[in-house]
Amino acid sequence: MKGDIDIEYSEDMIRQTKYFLATSCLIALGVIIYRYASLGNTLNFPGKTKIYNFSLDKNAVTIEQGSFNQVENVKWTKDSLKGDDVLNDDDLFGSDATLTATVAKPGGQITERQHIIKRSTKRPTTFQTTRKKTALKLTTHKATEKSVVTLPPLTKSAPPLTIAAPLLTKPAPSLKVQTLPAAMPKPTISVVTFKPGDLPACSHEGENLVGSLRVDQTVPASEEVIEKDWGEKGWVLKGGAWRPTKCQAVSKVAIVIPYRNREEQLKIFLRHMHPMLKRQLLDYRIMVIEQAGRTPFNRAMLFNIGYKEALQFHDFKCFIFHDVDLIPENDKNYYGCPSAPRHLSVAVDKFNYRLPYQAIFGGAGAFKKEDFETINGFSNHFWGWGGEDDDLYRRITAKGFKLTRPGMSVGRYKMVKVFHKSAKADPLRFEKLRSSKQRMNSDGLNSLKYKVLHVLERPLYTKVTVEVNPKEV
C-alpha cells in the first residue's frame, strides 16, 4: 500500500512538473513575442548591399541588417534602467549593456551570440560588428522626446570590408566605440538667396482668385488707413510696387493713371487694385501722372508721359493705361501682358454693362511695350474731354493689330461717379479724328514734350507731377 502511494505521489509530481514546464514555456514564448513586437519590424532589403536600421525602444536598441540571403537582428539591452519613461542618451550609453545577436541563415538554423558593451561616459558615434563599420547619427524628436538612431546611406566609394562570420566556438566579436565631445556643436542655419532666374514661373491664372468682386466706394482716410486695413504696413513696396517672391512673375506691368484733383477716387482705386494685382502674381508698379497748372487736361499725353517715366523705374514689358474712376468687378480680368492690344473695360455700369460701340477703346487698355511703340503711343493733340480713345483705336487697326477683349462677364467695371467733375470737351476732336492715320507717325511718343516738376514715391503709388504746354505740341 505504501509503495502504491509513493508511486501515485511520484506520478502526480511528474504530471504537475510537466504542466509547470509547459506553462512556463508558453509564458516565455509570449514574452518573447511581446518583446519582439515592441522592438519594431525586421527590415529585409533584397540585394547584395547590407543595410542597417537602428530603432530605439524604451529599453533596447534593435539593429537590423538586411542582405540577399540573411537577416541579422542585434538586440542591444541595458542591464537595468533607472525607471525613466524614456530611454535617453545617459540610459543608453552610461552603463554596461549586453548585445545579443540572433542570426537566421538560409538553411533555417538560428544561432545566437552575446557581446558586452562596457560602460562609457561619452556617447558612441561608431558601431562595429563583424560585418560592417558605420557611424551613428543621433537625432532627438521633441514631439515624442524619444531618441532615434539613424544611419547615413552606404556609398559606392566605401571600400568593402571582408570579415569572416564568427563561429560559435570562437570568442564574441568586440564592440568598438569612438567618443564625441560632451558639448555638441549647435547646428548652422544656411540662408539661401534665389536669383530671379532660379524661381519657377508664376501661373498665368494667378493665386487665390475669387472672380466677382465687391466695389467699396467709401473713401479711406489715408494710405496709412488702407495699409492698416490690410493688416500689415509695407504690404506693398514703397512707390506702389510689388513682385511675387515664391515664383517669377511672367508679366512686368506698369499701371499708368492720368490724374488731376481726384484724391478721393485715387484712394478707392488703390485700396481695390493692390490686392487684385497681387493675387494675379504680377511684377507691377502703379504710376500716377499728375498734370500741374490750369491748362486743359490732356489724358492721352499723360499716358505717354507715364510710359516714359515708368521705364525709369523698371524694365516693364507691358503697360495698363487706366482711368482712376474705373474699378474692376472681376479679378479674373487679367492685367498681365496681352497677346495683342487689349481693351479691358468692355462692360461699364454707366453703359448698363454693354459696349457702347465697337470702335471704343476707352477706360482701361493693355499693351505690350513693342506694340505700344509700333503705334507711336497716344496722340498728344487732344486737349479736354473726348476723342483720344477713338484716335487710339484707329492707330491700332492702321498697324494691322486685331483688338482683343475679355468676355462681358469678366470685363465688368464700376465707375466712381462722386468726387468728380468732367473736363470740357475738345471742340476740335472730330476734325482731329479725320487725320488720325496721317498724324500717327509724327504725333505721339516721338513728339512728346513735357517738364517733370517732381517725382514722389508714396507708400501705395509713385506720383510724377509734370507740366505740359499746348503751344509746344
CB 51 within 8 A of CB 72: no
Nearest alpha-carbon partner for 303 in 288, 318, 313, 292: 288
Least confident of 92-101, 307-316, 385-394: 92-101
Alpha helices for 61-143 (secondary structure H): 89-93
Q: Residue 36 has what pLDDT?
A: 58
Least confident of 29-38, 169-178, 216-225, 311-320: 169-178
Phi-psi region of 296 (alpha: psi -120 to 50; beta: other; left: phi over 0): beta
3-state SS assignment for residue 19: helix
Is 340 a residue whose pLDDT tops 50?
yes
Write the DSSP symbol of residue 331: T
Tens digits of residue pLDDT in 436-452: 888 999 999 999 999 99
Q: Residue 31 has what pLDDT?
A: 76
Q: Residue 99 has what pLDDT?
A: 44
Strand (E) or helix (H) holding 133: strand 133-135
Q: Residue 420 has what pLDDT?
A: 66
Tens digits of residue pLDDT in 131-171: 444 444 443 333 333 334 444 444 444 444 433 333 333 44
> How many angstroms separate the CA atoms of 131 and 392, rounded?
83
Tens digits of residue pLDDT in 14-59: 888 888 888 888 888 887 776 655 554 443 334 333 334 444 444 4
Cα angle 45-46-52, degrees, rounded to a multiple of 5: 35
Per-residue pLDDT, averaged over 415-437, amounts to 81
Strand partners, 135: 126
Please state the φ and ψ torsions of residue 62, each to the nearest 5 degrees.
-105, 125
DSSP string covering 250-310, please? S-EEEEEEEESS-HHHHHHHHHHHHHHHHHTT-EEEEEEEEEPSSSPP-HHHHHHHHHHHH
Radius of gyration of the CA atoms of the chain, in A: 41
Least confident of 193-207, 386-400, 438-452: 193-207
Contacts of 104 by beta carbon, 8 Å cutoff, 6+ apart: 70, 71, 72, 73, 110
What is the total residue count of the chain?
473
Q: Residue 120 has what pLDDT?
A: 38
> How many angstroms separate the CA atoms of 438 and 325, rounded?
32
Structural domains in the chain, sorted by start: 38-182 (no CATH), 196-472 (3.90.550.10)
Q: Residue 470 has what pLDDT?
A: 92
Tens digits of residue pLDDT in 62-111: 444 443 334 344 444 433 333 333 334 343 444 444 444 444 444 445 45
Contacts of 385 by beta carbon, 8 Å cutoff, 6+ apart: 297, 422, 423, 424, 425, 426
Per-residue pLDDT, averaged over 345-349, amounts to 97
Strand (E) or helix (H) holding 68: none
Report the Cα 227 to chain-centroid distance in Å: 23
| Cα torsion through 361, 362, 365, 368, rounded to 10 | 50
